[in-house]
Structure 1
Amino acid sequence: MRPLALAQVCYAWRTIALQTPRLWTNLRICVHGDLRAPVLNPAAIYEELKKTAQAPLHLTLSMRSDPVSFIEDDRLWVHDNGPEIWNILCAEADRWETIVLNDYPSEAFAMYVGLEFPALRRIGWRTKDIDNPLTEYEIPSPFFVNAPNLDFLHIEYQVPPIRLLPPPSWSLAKLRIISGDQGIEEDKPPIAPCIPFILACSATLRTCHVWSEMFGSFAEDKTPVPFPVLEELHLDWAAIHFCRLISAPNIQVVRLAKLALDDWSQPGDEFAAFE
């Protein structure tokens, strides 16, 4: 039941709901078609935040820099108040615990440098509205460089980002990457551009889940990269070939599903990583 519905049951329930900040900390702003999203104006955002007191925030934001006619009013950045709402949320950056960004304008992250995110544990980036293979964009991981407690990262894309590497300050324990749309037959994006990112997390990664129907071109080093604390690995389709690049002596759970060889025409020993 939504907090607003609880608050409408009776006076006593409303009093309790308004005195329980954690009931209001899941803020969904401008998600297309989501009736739970608050009104698109700064006053409404302020009211939502006032109910949360100083509790950790869990944010889901949809932002877009290029207007699309039928969803123009449902995307944060194309709305006239987009930058002001972003300012309001960034002023509470020290309380962000979870943030999911569905598409985003790069100018939003250029507005602030050096924000601190001491409570941030989970980030989700979805850029699936970027579907032109010629588009070059970066996931703004430097924006979150001051997130010492970041634990989990989810990346989902239709066109792979460029120059994707984790900030040295991160110590990710869980990583999930979904490359492409399941069920779409054309324009399979490769997972290869994300491989350097995954390998750069080798020292701390405990759980890794990668889904991709196309591996792509990647210069394979004959020396596997050790993942000393990796315990759980889920690889789907062509992502299975990632096994060739690593060693995981302490693995406990392995799920390899739906082998697809794509441009790596000869099957290798995908299980050598677990010896």
Structure 2
Amino acid sequence: MRPPVCTVAQRTPIFTTTTMPKDIYRLRRAQLIHYPRATRPLGPITLLPLEILTHVFLSCVQDEDDHSPDVPLVLGQVCSSWRKLVLKLPQLWTHLSINLTARTSLPAASPFTSSSSSSQQPRLSKSPEALANLANLWFERAKNQLLSVTINLTAMNATAVQDVSSSLVRPILSHAKSIQHLSIHASSHTQLAHLFSRSDVEFTNLESLSLSLQHPASSSSSSSPITTFTNAPRLTQVFFDLNGSPPSTSLIHLPWAQLEQFSMSGASLLPADECRLLLSTCTNLRKASVWIDDDYTQSDEKTPTTLLPHLTHLSLSFYGRHEKTINSLLTSFDLPHLRHLHFFSGFITLPFIPPVTSRHLETVSLSGVDVSAAQLENLALVASSLCSLALDLRYCSGEIPAIASVLATDSSSPLVFPYLSKLSIWTRHISPNSASYAQLIRSRSRNPNHTPFCLDVYLARQRHVGSSQFDNILSLFDVCDKATGVVLRIMDVRPDEGISETSFF
């Protein structure tokens, strides 16, 4: 059968009689009329009461770590009414950030800019004088509020712009009584000593101080002390990242005896003798995190014991090659109320657990230590109330069956670490020791104290794992499903990833 023939003459009346274009224009016109009504808010923010708008503004600066320091400037640029409200709220002006970096423009008549190089350097609107005026304005608008101030002085050729930096730091020193938290990022120790060498400044309300250096100290640099922060009666927290410059008490004058928290990081290795002197000076210390260098010398003199009665958190990162250094350091302190210990050895593997005699230990993290079953039993005699234990056994995985047997005693023997709720093991493989893990899981499910138990196994990434590895992992999860009150978590980590101290402090 032939299909019907459809010609153009038959389709033309259909297109000529349609009303689609007229309908489109009518609908579009109706949408344009209705659009302002649909987009108009039921309660525009301009009609909000000042009390509600005030709470909205203050919520922008509630989070100490997740907000921009330019919040009041941004809010004040919206409209005149917002600007008036921003100027009436001194709580919005409690965070000041000053950046004098290599991209900050110098004054036009500055002797440090030549005509040949001025065209190549970026010319920004923020000059050091403008930043100083901004700092004065910030303190004025904050009124009687205490401020958190961040100063970034990591400019290139810092020795050449020290005079410019001094003009920028001058408002900070003149309003020192209004600063509660101060963070300074400088190029070198010489720059810090040049800017903060005045001893007549009173930081009456300063509670925390953070100092970091961009460049390490050179042998030819001067050793002028930093004396500006001596008069700080409320200073309790100090954080250092000095990039190779040890935080010596002779170079940084602080009220060390009143400090409650001291932390250092980066490449600043503190010699053991300096660490002993510093910690013995901080008699009120509660939390300490130090990186220790090796300066062991054979001596028959007995090191005096220093009592630190308030120390509860201690983190030691040891980068020495003599095990007697760390042994002598820890035995020189009496830590009766230590509750959290994090220890890391970077260059050598210690054959013993660091000697700690506190009976209040709750958290212990050991990395770079050859932990044996006998040492773990001795630790259990001292720290029977231990709640969390982290062991890096990547280089001594042969001790895992013996350690698991100590932690997984039978029903006739008392349970070691009866209050242990979290055990973290860092290892390379799980296949050879899957039976030991299964025994540990079954034993912890029969805890008479009904303490929930979590076993975290961190596996270093292996390119070729093998099917037996996955089979043993699945069998462990089957054992965990049958146990009560036990959680098993197996995580993949990089081979160079270590135990972080942030989870313990």
TM-score bracket, shorter-length normalisation: 0.7 to 0.9
From the CA coordinates, give the structure whose radius of gyration is larger.
2
Aligned residues of 1:175 and 1:205 also touching (Cα < 8 A):
yes
Structure 1 residues 190 and 163 mapped into 2: Cα distance closer, same or farther (>3 Å)? Answer: closer
Q: Equivalent residues in 2 for 1:165-184 (5 A)? A: 165=250, 167=254, 170-180=257-267
**How far 1:148 moved relative to its partner?**
0.8
Q: Does the CA-based 8 Å contact 1:244-1:269 persist in structure 2?
A: no
* Deviation of 1:39 (Å): 5.3
Cα-to-partner distance string for 1:113-144 (whole Å, 9 max, x where unaligned): 3221110101111124225366453551x321
Q: Residues 96-115 of structure 1: CA distance to partner in whole angstroms, max 9, x if unpaired?
A: 211112123422223x3322
Q: Which has the higher contact order (CA 8 A, sep 6+)?
A: 1
Which of 247, 250, 255 matches 2:334? 247
The secondary structure found in structure 1 opposite 2:199 is coil
1:67-146 correspondence to structure 2 within 5 Å: 68=156, 78=161, 81-103=164-186, 104-110=191-197, 112-132=198-218, 135=221, 137=223, 140=226, 142-146=227-231
Q: Secondary structure at the match of 1:90?
A: helix
Number of equivalences: 250
SS of the residue corresponding to residue 183 of structure 2 reads strand
Q: Which runs of 5+ in 1 are unaligned?
A: 181-188
Per-residue CA deviation, residues 172-228 of structure 1 (Å, 9 max, x unaligned), is 011101141xxxxxxxx5321444222210x20011122x3x522156853432211
Quote the residue 1:3 is aligned against: 72
In the alignment, the residues of structure 1 paired with residue 102 and residue 195 of structure 2 have an alpha-carbon distance, to the nearest angstrom, of 23
Secondary structure at 1:144 match in 2: coil
CA 1:267–1:132: 2 relative to 1, 3 Å: farther
**SS, match of residue 272 in structure 1:** coil
- Matched residue type, 1:127: L
**Higher percent of residues as helix:** 2
Label 1:133 to 1:243 Cα distance change in 2 as closer, same or farther (>3 A): farther
The 1:80–1:114 alpha-carbon spacing in structure 2 relative to 1, beyond 3 Å, is closer
Deviation of the 1:247 alpha carbon:
2.0
Aligned pair in 2 of structure 1 residues 162, 127: CA closer, same or farther (>3 Å)?
same
Distance in 1 between residues matched to 2:353 and 2:98, nearest whole Å: 46
Aligned to 1:50: 140
Q: Which residue of 2 aligns with 1:206?
A: 286
Among 209, 228, 233, which residue is 1:148 paired with? 233
User: Identity rate of aligned residues, in percent?
Assistant: 17
Task: Give the secondary-structure state (helix, strand or coil) at the position aligned to 2:338.
Answer: coil
Unpaired segments ≥5 residues, structure 2: 1-66, 105-125, 360-505
Match of 1:158 among 239, 243, 262: 243
Change (3 A) 1:138 1:273: farther
Contact 2:96–2:135 at 8 Å: present in 1 too?
no
Query: 1:68: how far off?
Result: 2.3
Cα RMSD (Å): 3.3
Deviations along 1:225-267, one digit per CA (max 9) or x if unpaired, are 22111111122344993534322111122222x32355xx865
Q: Partner amino acid for 2:259?
A: L
The structure-2 alpha-carbon separation of the partners of 1:274 and 1:169, relative to structure 1 and needing over 3 Å to count, comes to: closer
Q: Which residue matches 1:30?
A: 99
Closer, same or farther: CA 248–51 of 1 in aligned 2, 3 Å: same
TM-aligned CA distance change 1:79 to 1:14, over 3 Å: farther
| In 1: Cα distance, 2:172 partner to 2:163 partner | 16
Task: Give the Cα–Cα distance (whole angstroms) in 2 for the partners of residues 155 and 162 of structure 1.
Answer: 7
* TM-score (norm: length of structure 2): 0.44
Establish whether residue 190 from structure 1 lines up as the match of residue 269 from structure 2: yes
How far apart, in 2, do the equivalents of 1:223 and 1:269 lie? Answer: 22
Within-5 A mapping of 1:263-274: 267=351, 269-274=353-358
